[in-house]
């Protein structure tokens, strides 16, 4: 496999590249099939590994719209620009974003990667991303969003539209690492066609002022599958309002929504989930588990099931509680301090295995979570 001779990522300022590496960005492009990198509103890199040229496409959204007239039929198709003030801002003040397309029938063995970085204090980053998995394709995408270490306050708005065509499989993992002064407002939607699978994984383990996300998936094709997983650690007065909605509008559609949330040091987590079945037969399950580590924090789980047909199977399970005292005592008896024992148990609770990733990718994401979770 032939890789790019020298990655332009190595020319990015060290502090920014180091921050990007903490959210899953690999500077060695031989380990990725394609890369998109943006700082503030400037595209730094949009490149495809030589081996995958003609199999995947990665462009800035601005360049993609210029290249393909048909792309206008996808922009704002799933998310109306007047949905709220944030979508309106992206529509009127577009600051870039990426276009990723996996061509028909292509199985991409190496993950694609994308990274959006805020490098200026007080910057408002407004981006629009479009991802198309063409018929019969199979790919994994890792997206990391983060800040320059010296940035304390900022606003990130990301509109993302996913189109998973007939028989395609798309596994999308998003890792966020922000600061206590950052406000984050992602707006995402996915359309899943017949026999297609869309898996969305969201990971946020660092403090943030506020992150509010409620992606929706429309399972519009028979035997389509939508899966949402989230792993959240809210610390230092963070407010995380995270959820997902799945609309099962085709027979034999399926969905699973799973969240793991930990709240500590005066933080609040709102874990939402809604399953709507308007076709039959369909089957879907919603699961939310939360840990509260102190009396100043809270978790509010809001599971909702809506069925309008006779032959539907919708279920949910929600649990919010504390770490078991006997588990902490056991680890302390093995020589760990109470703080280290709690950290071990929390990391075990936020296990990446629930994401259902292939082993090699799961190991990579698990190592990433361990790095982010240091010092919990």
The answer to whether residue 2 is domain-embedded is: no
Domain around 128: 8-324
| pLDDT recorded at residue 1 | 44
Specify whether 298 is located in the same domain as 333. Answer: no
Model confidence at 50, pLDDT cuts 50, 70, 90, reads very high
Specify whether 292 is located in the same domain as 339. Answer: no
Using alpha carbons, list the distances in angstroms from residue 19 to 22, 23, 244, 317. 5, 7, 27, 36
Specify whether 286 is located in the same domain as 239. Answer: yes
The string of pLDDT tens digits covering residues 105-129 is 999 999 999 999 999 999 999 999 9
Specify whether 214 is located in the same domain as 335. Answer: no
Structure-token pair, residue 162: 């996913």
113 close to 25: Cβ distance less than 8 angstroms: yes
Entry pTM: 0.94
Domain boundary among 324, 341, 365: 324
The answer to whether residue 3 is domain-embedded is: no
Sign of CA dihedral 246, 35, 126, 271: positive
129 three-state secondary structure: strand
133 close to 163: Cβ distance less than 8 angstroms: yes
Distance CA 65, CA 78 (A): 17
The string of pLDDT tens digits covering residues 72-101 is 999 999 999 999 999 999 999 999 999 999
Specify whether 371 is located in the same domain as 356. Answer: yes
The answer to whether residue 1 is domain-embedded is: no
Of residues 8 and 184, the one with the higher pLDDT is 184
Domains of the chain: total: 2
Domain boundary among 287, 308, 324: 324
Domain boundary among 283, 302, 324: 324
Specify whether 186 is located in the same domain as 116. Answer: yes
Specify whether 232 is located in the same domain as 352. Answer: no
Specify whether 329 is located in the same domain as 195. Answer: no
| pLDDT recorded at residue 2 | 45
The answer to whether residue 313 is domain-embedded is: yes
Kindly give the pairing relationship between strand 56-60 and strand 98-102.
Answer: antiparallel
| pLDDT recorded at residue 356 | 66
Model confidence at 359, pLDDT cuts 50, 70, 90, reads confident
Specify whether 262 is located in the same domain as 341. Answer: no
Specify whether 263 is located in the same domain as 376. Answer: no
The string of pLDDT tens digits covering residues 181-216 is 999 999 999 999 999 999 999 999 889 999 999 999
Model confidence at 376, pLDDT cuts 50, 70, 90, reads low
Checking if the pLDDT of 308 tops 60, the result is yes
Checking if the pLDDT of 6 tops 70, the result is no
The answer to whether residue 356 is domain-embedded is: yes
């Amino acid at each position: 496999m032939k890789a790019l001779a020298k990655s332009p990522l190595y020319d990015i300022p060290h502090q920014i590249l180091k921050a990007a590496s903490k959210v899953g960005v690999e500077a060695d492009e031989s380990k990725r099939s394609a890369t998109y990198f943006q700082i503030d509103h400037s595209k730094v890199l949009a490149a495809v590994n030589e081996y995958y040229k003609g199999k995947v496409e990665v462009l800035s959204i601005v360049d993609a719209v210029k290249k393909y007239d048909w792309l206008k039929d996808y922009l704002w198709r799933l998310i109306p620009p007047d949905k709220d003030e944030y979508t309106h801002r992206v529509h009127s003040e577009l600051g870039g974003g990426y276009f990723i397309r996996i061509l028909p029938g292509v199985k991409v063995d190496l993950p694609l990667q994308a990274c959006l970085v805020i490098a200026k204090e007080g910057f408002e980053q407004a981006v629009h991303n479009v991802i198309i998995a063409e018929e019969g394709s199979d790919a994994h995408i890792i997206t990391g969003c983060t800040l320059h270490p010296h940035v304390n306050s900022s606003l990130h708005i990301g509109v993302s539209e996913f189109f998973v065509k007939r028989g395609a499989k798309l596994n999308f993992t998003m890792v966020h690492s922000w600061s206590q002064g950052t406000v984050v407002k992602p707006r995402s939607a996915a359309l899943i066609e017949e026999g297609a699978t869309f898996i969305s994984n969201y990971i946020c383990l660092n403090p943030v002022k506020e992150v509010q996300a409620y992606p929706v998936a429309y399972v519009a094709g028979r035997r389509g599958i939508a899966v949402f997983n989230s792993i959240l650690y809210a610390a230092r007065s963070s407010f995380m309002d995270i959820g997902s909605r799945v609309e099962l509008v085709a027979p034999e559609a399926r969905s699973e929504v799973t969240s793991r949330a930990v709240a500590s040091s005066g933080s609040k987590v709102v874990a939402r989930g809604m399953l709507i079945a308007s076709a039959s037969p369909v089957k879907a399950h919603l699961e939310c588990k939360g840990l509260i580590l102190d009396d100043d924090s809270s978790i509010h789980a809001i599971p909702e099931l809506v069925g309008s047909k006779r032959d539907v199977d919708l279920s949910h399970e929600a649990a919010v509680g504390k770490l078991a005292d006997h588990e902490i005592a056991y680890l302390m008896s093995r020589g760990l301090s109470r703080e280290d024992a709690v950290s071990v148990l929390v990391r075990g609770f936020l296990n990446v295995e629930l994401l259902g990733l292939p082993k090699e990718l799961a190991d990579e994401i698990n190592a990433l979570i361990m790095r982010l979770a240091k010092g919990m």
